[in-house]
Amino acid sequence: MSFPWQEITWVLLDMDGTLLDKHFDDYFWETLVPDEYARKQGLPLALARDLVFARYQREEGTLNWTDIDFWSRELDLDIPALKEGIRHLIEVHPDTEDFLRFLRQMGKKIALVTNAHYKTLNLKMNHVGLLGYFDEVISSFDLGAPKEEAGFWEVLEEKIGFESQHTLLVDDNADVLASARRYGIKYLLFKAKSSSQAAAEPHPDFPSIASFRELMD
C-alpha cells in the first residue's frame, strides 16, 4: 500500500486488536469470565454465558464496557485478578514493534488511544514493554468519553493538539473509525486481522490492512 506519509503528523493507534493480539480479550471475556461466573453462581455454563453476554451487550459502546471495576461489581468477580492470572497470554502482533520503530524513524508523533481501563492498560503495557514508543498514552477514562463519542476526539484534540487533516487513526473497531470520521480525522485505517486465531476481515466502509507491513513497503 502506497501511503501519503508526508501528509501525516500524528499517528493514533488503538491497543487491543490493533497493536496487541485480541485473542487474549476474546478468551478472557468469552470463555474465562462466563466459566468463572457459572462456577461462582452455581449455574449451568450455557445459562451463565447467556446472562453474561446479555450484560455485555447492554454496555457496549459505553465507558462501562471496558471498566473492569464495573464488571467486578456487576458480576461479583475479581476481574483484575483474573486478568493477571492469564497475563502470559498477552501478545503483541508480530508486526507491531517494527511499525512503531518505522514511525519513530520518520519522526511521527505517536499516541496510544484506547478505551481500555487504566488497570488493563497498565497490565498490558507493563507486560509487553511498548510504552517508550509513544508520545502520548490516552485512555478514554482520562477523557470521560469512549472513542465512539465525539467528546473523546474533542478533548483529545485539546489535550495533544493534533490536526485532523494530518492525522492517521488505526483501529479494529469500525464504530470508532466512524466516530473519528464524523469528527473530521482524514486518514482512517481498519485493522482487519485483530486476533491471531481469526482470519483477516476487511471492512466495506474503510480502507483495511491485515498487517502494518502493508504501510512500510
Q: What is the mean pLDDT of the chain?
A: 97
* Res 181 pLDDT > 70: yes
Kindly state the average pLDDT of the residues 87-113.
98
56 vs 173: CA distance, rounded Å: 16
HSE (side-chain half, CA atoms, 13 Å) at 200? 12
Q: Which amino acid type is present at position 27?
A: Y
The answer to whether residues 147 and 66 touch, using CB atoms and an 8 Å cutoff, is no
| pLDDT of res. 1 | 64
DSSP state of 84: H
The helix/strand/coil state of 27 is helix
| pLDDT of res. 154 | 97
Share of the chain above pLDDT 70, in %: 100
Please enumerate in sequence order all residues whose Cβ is within 8 A of that of 41, keeping only pairs 6 or more positions apart, or say none.
48
pTM of the entire predicted model: 0.96
pLDDT tens for residues 19-50?
999 999 999 999 999 999 999 999 999 999 99
For the chain, give every domain's residue range. Answer: 5-21+92-215, 24-88
Indicate the length of the chain as a whole number.
217
Kindly state the average pLDDT of the residues 145-171.
97
Domain covering 5-21+92-215 in this structure, CATH number: 3.40.50.1000
